[in-house]
Amino acid sequence: MAMPSQEEQVQGMLQHAEQCSSTHQPLPTLEQLRGSLPPGASVVMVVTCCDPRVLPDQFLGGFGMKVSEVRNAGGRASEALRSLICVDHVLGVGAVIVIHHTDCGLTHLRNDFLHSSLTQKAPQNAAEIAKMDFLEILDLKASVIEDMKILKDSPYLRKDLKVYGYVYDIKTGKLQDVKE
């Protein structure tokens, strides 16, 4: 059976969304969501990769509206920081779980390769491209530790914020605890 085209995939997703809307129950407003948290409680943020194989709501358990996810290439904290700050100001963030994973695309890509590729596509932007850091990952544990440190050292987040780090193994489904 042939794979559906991208257009067919998008149309299928839109049809599914339309079907889901027929049974949709209204979601709480932010005020209602804040009110549903016990006094002093806050949400947990999961920072992880946007890789479609990595589905934290599945391997961490269905967590509903008490957990928020930030996903980006490599699950890097520096790119997630803006979202963390915003959610912290709206709902309050009590803990962050940083999860990187085996066979991540950023363990296969290098800055020099991406610089070269982008410079070929947009040579007029070569100077800007040369400054780009794609946050390549050379060592998974080290990258998790680096991201945990970014969050703990951020002047924009509370010093008492709990930060946890893990490497998710895509073959075994196990999380390996990473300590600083």
User: Which DSSP string corresponds to 65-111?
Assistant: GGEEEEEEGGG-HHHHHHHHHHHHHHT-EEEEEEEEETT-GGGT--H
Domain coordinates of the chain in residue numbers? 40-178
CATH of the domain spanning 40-178: 3.40.1050.10
pLDDT of residue 2: 79
- Asked if residue 72 lies in contact with residue 50, where contact means CB atoms within 8 angstroms, the answer is yes
CA-to-CA dists, residue 135 to 45, 48, 127, angstroms: 21, 14, 18
Annotated binding-site residue numbers for Zn(2+): 49, 51, 101, 104
pLDDT per residue as tens, the chain (180 positions):
678 888 999 999 899 999 999 999 998 888 888 888 777 678 899 999 999 999 998 899 877 767 889 999 999 999 999 999 999 998 889 999 999 999 999 899 999 999 999 999 999 999 999 999 999 999 999 999 999 999 999 999 989 999 999 999 999 999 999 998
The model's pTM is: 0.86
Pairing label, strands 162-168, 67-72: unpaired
Annotated binding-site residue numbers: 49, 51, 101, 104
Pairing label, strands 67-72, 93-101: unpaired
pLDDT of residue 174: 96
- Asked if residue 101 lies in contact with residue 171, where contact means CB atoms within 8 angstroms, the answer is no
* Count of other CB atoms within 10 angstroms of residue 168: 25
